[in-house]
């Protein structure tokens, strides 16, 4: 057994005085030396935390014993080191921002499909598998033949409803990382007239653990220091590619230019050659951060190029404008 665990969890539950509970929750997490991110909202809790096995056990007991979160499920990954470097607990009205206040996630959500049943149903010719995640996520990995939406955030999905209308009479099989987004997305579809709506119980993470991840191509994107995790142990295939050389890669970085900071895939060879930058312009930027092989930069702990380089870069920019 590895010394640390990462817990992924959520629960839709009406929480009175959620802002006050946020402070109480943060204090408890810190007492266990947990690291991670937790959202406390009027509609429930959503989080990922990481810590020692014993700390995670105490945390799971703490939530499970709270009547508001009865039946909460945890996806557990064993780790060699914590997956976060800080602990944040924040209050948000929504635990996953969708921007559709009329969605009744408690009564209208789609029907669950357990991993083994999902594996059978997604090959039904009358079924349409729909990915409810962001573009950066499905570029790293997705189910075979899944319908994907070109969205940067979950709240953009309602703007793409017209793309999904063609599947209104089909069996809808929706999925996301852990299930939380599908609870809302399927409720939204049902309230917009979709009749036969299902979603993967526990999301991609649970499907990988219980069904071996068959027919999930690539890796699953996660919002912590790991960035991606393996899912498929049956017929794995890498589907993401380096932006520069187009070779297969799942190496995500943030552009070393802090004024760009684009999050994208660049293989390790190209990342080294580009010094962690997405373009030659960003590579020459005077505030470019020092690329250490990870492309992950923490706030207030970033190295930059010299003031002399900054002035030289600014002069080149000014000169180029005059030449145009």
The model's pLDDT over 102-139, given as tens digits with 9 standing for 90+, comes to 898 988 899 999 999 999 999 999 999 999 999 999 99
Residue with the larger pLDDT of the pair 318 and 122: 122
Strand pairing report for 197-200 and 171-175: parallel
| Rounded percentage of the chain residues whose pLDDT exceeds 90 | 84
For residue 111, give every residue at least 6 positions away whose Cβ sits within 8 Å of its Cβ, in sequence order, or none.
197, 198, 199
> Which domains can be identified in the chain, with CATH numbers?
4-91 (3.30.70.100), 111-229 (3.40.250.10), 252-323 (no CATH)
Q: What pLDDT, in 10s, does the model give residues 217-248?
A: 999 999 887 889 999 999 999 999 999 999 99
Is 260:282 a contact under the CB 8 Å cutoff? yes
pLDDT at 324 over 50: no
pLDDT confidence of residue 316: 52
In this predicted structure, the answer to whether residue 313 has a pLDDT above a threshold of 50 is no
Residue owning tokens 């997956």? 83
Strands 44-52 and 4-12: antiparallel
Q: In the chain, which ranges are E strands?
A: 4-12, 35-41, 44-52, 73-79, 87-91, 111-113, 127-131, 141-143, 171-175, 197-200, 216-218, 220-221, 228-229, 252-254, 263-265
| Residue 225 pLDDT | 78
* Token pair listed for 163: 């793309």
Write out the two tokens for 153.
Answer: 């955030």
d(CA 166, CA 116): 27
pLDDT digits (tens, 9 = 90+) for 60-108: 999 999 999 999 999 999 999 988 989 999 999 999 999 998 898 988 8
Q: Where in 103-239 does DSSP place strands (E)?
A: 111-113, 127-131, 141-143, 171-175, 197-200, 216-218, 220-221, 228-229
- Give the model's confidence band at 306: pLDDT under 50 very low, under 70 low, under 90 confident, else very high: very low
pTM over 0.85: no
The predicted pLDDT at position 321 comes to 44
Residue 255 appears among annotated catalytic residues: no
Residue closest to 277 by CA, chosen among 254, 311, 300, 247: 254
Please identify which of the residues 176, 242, 270, 282 carries the catalytic annotation: 176
């Amino acid at each position: 057994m590895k010394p640390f665990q990462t817990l992924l969890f959520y629960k839709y539950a009406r929480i009175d005085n959620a802002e006050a509970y946020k402070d109480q929750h943060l204090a408890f997490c810190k007492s266990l030396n947990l690291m991670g991110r937790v959202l406390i909202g009027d509609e429930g809790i959503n989080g990922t935390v990481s810590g020692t096995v014993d700390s995670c056990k105490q945390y799971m007991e703490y939530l499970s014993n709270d009547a508001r979160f009865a039946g909460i499920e945890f996806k557990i990954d064993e780790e060699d080191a914590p997956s976060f470097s800080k602990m944040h607990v924040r209050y948000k009205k929504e635990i996953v921002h969708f921007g559709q206040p009329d969605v009744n996630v408690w009564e209208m959500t789609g029907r669950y499909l357990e991993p083994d049943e999902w594996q059978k149903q997604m090959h039904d010719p009358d079924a349409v598998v729909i990915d409810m995640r962001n573009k950066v996520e499905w570029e790293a990995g997705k189910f075979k033949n899944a319908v994907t939406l070109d969205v940067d955030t979950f709240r953009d999905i309602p703007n793409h409803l017209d793309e999904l209308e063609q599947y209104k009479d089909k069996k809808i099989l929706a999925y996301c990382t852990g299930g939380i987004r599908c609870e809302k997305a399927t409720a939204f579809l049902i309230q917009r007239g979709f009749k036969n709506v299902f979603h993967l119980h526990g999301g991609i993470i649970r499907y990988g653990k219980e069904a071996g991840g068959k027919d999930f191509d690539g890796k699953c994107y996660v919002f912590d220091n790991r960035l991606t995790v393996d899912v498929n142990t049956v017929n794995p295939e890498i589907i993401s590619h380096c932006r520069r050389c187009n070779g297969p890669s799942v190496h995500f970085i943030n552009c070393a230019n802090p004024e760009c900071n684009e999050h994208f895939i660049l293989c390790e060879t190209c990342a080294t050659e580009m010094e962690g930058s997405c373009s030659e312009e960003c590579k020459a930027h005077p505030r470019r951060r020092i690329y250490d092989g990870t492309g992950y930069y923490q706030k207030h702990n970033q190295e930059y190029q010299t003031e002399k380089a900054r002035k030289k870069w600014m002069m080149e920019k000014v000169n180029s404008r005059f030449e145009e």
